[in-house]
Structure 1
Amino acid sequence: MKVLHVITGLAAGGAEQQLRVLLPRLRARCEVAVLTGRGVLADAIERDGLPVHRIGMRGNTDLRAVGRLARLMRGRRYDVVHTHLYRACVYGRLAARLANVPAIVATEHSIGHEHIEGRRLTRPVRALYLASELLGHATVAVSPTVAERLSLWGVPRSRIVVIPNGVDGAAFGFDAELRRRTRERLGLDPRAFVVGGIGRLEPGKRFDVLVEAVSALGGAVLLLAGTGSCEPRLRRLARDAGAEDRVIFAGESTDVPALLSAMDVLAAPSAEEAFGLAVVEALAAGLPVLYGACPAVEDLPPGAAPGARRVAPDRLAAELAELAARPPERLPPPEAVRCYDVRHQADRLESLYLRLLGAAPEEEKR
């Protein structure tokens, strides 16, 4: 079975990191097509021995990308095309239809009530999404929460398959020596209380709330991993609060375990999430987590993630102060981490591919 994964870009975001983690666990022969700039994860995927095809799309209305994708798909004769993120889903599903690809799958990583990947959910955006969804054969929701949102949009339940994001829990196990080296590399005091934030620096992540909370917490350091349009504003906010030297902008990184090792708590103040991958990774690393919204935790039975607590924005500073007053402590990975084992999720995806191709084992068909 030969599978082409089509994704909008390969910067170090949640969907992109998820694809990189998933690819080595799939038994199918996989290749990747990236619509826009390669990003730091393209090199990482190629180092893993997988081809990355650059489509060179220039903006949202570059319709020539459809032709380039379709030619790639026809020439390399893929059995499955699997798209990720809004633009790739719209263009990739159309190209796959034109190329007569037997099975077309899309994963919905980032749909919210009012936004999808930072875009406002206007009527045209929604109409284009629903029209392109009909060109595929199945849409994967990364959480039951996302499945419900898709259904409310008008995607038929019969076309939605829930397969959550996956995490390699062992890769995030705490390592004291890695913590020491990472703090040294970042110029962090070994004794500092380090609050972490991981994700795109965009409005929906509400990292401004986190900058304000840490600025009010004397001696604490904020380590922000990611890039985005809000970075200049966040830097000004830290400077105006007199905390410029206590907010570290680490930029994009493919080594999330090292960053988590340097932290004492992860804060994820987003008002809305589709899954909350950074939260699960932090739990795997033994960190306490304060979050604003996280379907990955909230869709599980109570008690599956005892180290994670939902916190209102106006309580974030007080909760961080309470944690800072206690000696840093690593927690055992909770049941939530085992629920999202990436090997299990890879098996479920391959079963979906086989079912769509009409080649599923008899027990899978039943």
Structure 2
Amino acid sequence: MRVLHVITGLAPGGAEHQLRLLLRRLPHDCEVVTLSNPGAVAAAIRADGTTVHELTMSSNRDVSAVVKLRRLIRDGRFDLVHTHLYRACVHGRVAARLAGVPAVATEHSLGDGVIEGRRTSTAVRALYLATERAGRVTIAVSGTVAARLRAWGVPARRISVIPNGIDAAEFRYDPLRRAAARARYGIAPDAVVVGGVGRLEPGKRFDHLIWALTQVPGATLLLVGDGSARRSLRDQAHRQGVGGRVVFAGSVGHVRDLLCAMDVFVSPSGHETFGLAVLEALACGLPALYAVCPPLEESGDESARRLSRDPESLPRALRAELAGLAERGGARRPVPAIVGRYDIARLAESVGCLYDRIVPAPERAESKGTPR
């Protein structure tokens, strides 16, 4: 089966890395098209041997992308189109319908009134629903996302819940990587490091984490990611007297080295639709604190500590975890079973089965003697 994956961009991010991992395990002939910002993940995907096409969209209203996608789908004789993220889903499903090819979408980041970190409007929802009908199935990465899709008006019969997955081996703790990462960012070998990973945007609530640092003397905060709030977060850190204890690492291609450099992981965001970063931290043997993480909440798993809405919850939990760290002599924690439950191989198998249901073997272009 030939599958064209359409994604909004390929800068480092959760959905982008999910696609990279999925492509490695799908037993199909896959290609990728990015509508904007090819980024570092595009290079990683190409290094794995997958063709990446680049389209440059000027805005969400650039309908020329639909024409270009339709041509690419037909010329490439693809059997199925799989879209990822809002812009790609809207344009990609329409292009697939015009090309006469079935489409499936994965909804990675449909927050409570938020898509890809931005507030939604009635018009945005209406466009999403109108184009959703051009596809066959929408994959929700968690029960939380599925519930929000239904609340938007997507029929339950058109939603399939297939959780995100991780390759735990990619996040295995390595003391040599820890030492190298700390040296790279000027962090002392014996420093106690609290870490956070994600886009530096207001909704991620890293300002809460900087404030909590003022209540945890001696700790260093390592923030991995970039975004529009970087300057304001840096200014906040200096105003609150912890500027010398906050390290802004910026965006990185893969977070393993920096997770190894941390001692406690915190995800303060209240708008996570999956919380993949928490599972990645657990895979690295880190104690983790989180505000929202559907895999842990939906399963009742207690491998990480959930924060309450009490403003004091975060600094209090941090002090408790750092005390536990001292009792363990700085040793990592065992990787919990919940990590294995979300192994990427299971995701790939479930997605592959969905493909086979949508496009049975006799209907595939590769079995036909003439182009579409």
**2:304 maps to which of 293, 303, 307:** 307
Alignment of 1:135-146 (within 5 A): 135-146=134-145
Other-structure match for 1:286: 285
Q: CA deviation at 1:359?
A: 3.9
Contact 1:276 1:294 in 2 (8 A): yes
Q: What is the alpha-carbon distance in structure 2 between the residues aligned to residue 299 and residue 335 of structure 1?
A: 15
Equivalent position SS for 1:200? coil
Per-residue CA shift, 1:16-45, capped at 9, x if unaligned?
A: 111112211111111111101111111111
Aligned partners of 1:243, 1:21: CA distance in 2, in Å?
A: 37
1:332-363: CA deviation from partner (whole Å, max 9, x where unpaired): 11121111010011010010001001349xxx
Partner amino acid for 1:47? Answer: A
- Secondary structure, counterpart of 1:337 in structure 2: helix
**Matched residue of 2:312: which SS?**
helix
Query: Which residue does 1:316 correspond to in 2?
Result: 314
Match for 1:2: what amino acid?
A: R
- Sort the Cα spacing of 1:199 and 1:350 in 2 relative to 1 into closer, same or farther, 3 A: same
* Equivalent residues in 2 for 1:79-90, closer than 5 Å: 79-90=79-90
What is the match of residue 333 of structure 2?
331
CA–CA distance in 2 between the matches of 1:307 and 1:116? 26
What code does the residue aligned with 1:216 have?
Answer: Q
1:95-151, CA deviations, whole angstroms, 9 ceiling, x for partnerless residues? 1111111x2010011112221212322211110111111000000000111111111
Give TM-score, length-normalised by structure 2: 0.93
Counterparts of 1:143 and 1:206, CA distance in 2: 21
Given that 2:193 and 2:262 are in contact with CA atoms closer than 8 Å, whether structure 1 keeps it comes out as: yes
Q: Which residue of 2 aligns with 1:260?
A: 259
Name the amino acid aligned to 1:42. Answer: A
Indicate the residue corresponding to 2:368 in structure 1. none
Q: Hey, what's the Cα distance between the residues in 1 that align with 2:182 and 2:117?
A: 32
Asked if residue 59 in structure 1 is aligned to residue 56 in structure 2, the reply is no
Q: Give the C-alpha shift of residue 227 in structure 1.
A: 1.1
Following the alignment from structure 2 to structure 1, what is the Cα–Cα distance between the partners of residues 86 and 277?
21
Partner of 2:201: 202
- The 8 Å contact of residues 171 and 284 in structure 2, kept in 1 or not, is answered as yes
Q: Give the equivalent residue in structure 1 for 2:367.
A: none
| Structure 2 residues without counterparts, runs of 5 or longer | 363-372
How far is the alpha carbon of 1:324 from its aligned partner?
2.4
Q: In the alignment, which residue of structure 1 is the partner of 2:348?
A: 346
Q: For residue 305 of structure 1, report the CA deviation from its aligned partner.
A: 4.1
Residue pairs, 1:73-84, within 5 angstroms: 73-84=73-84
Instruction: List gaps (5 residues or longer) in structure 1.
Output: 361-366
Q: Which residue of 2 aligns with 1:363?
A: none
Report which stretch shifted further, 61-70 or 308-317: 308-317
Match of 1:37 in 2: 37
Aligned length: 357
The alignment partner of 1:8 has SS state of strand
The root-mean-square deviation of aligned C-alpha atoms, in Å, is 1.4
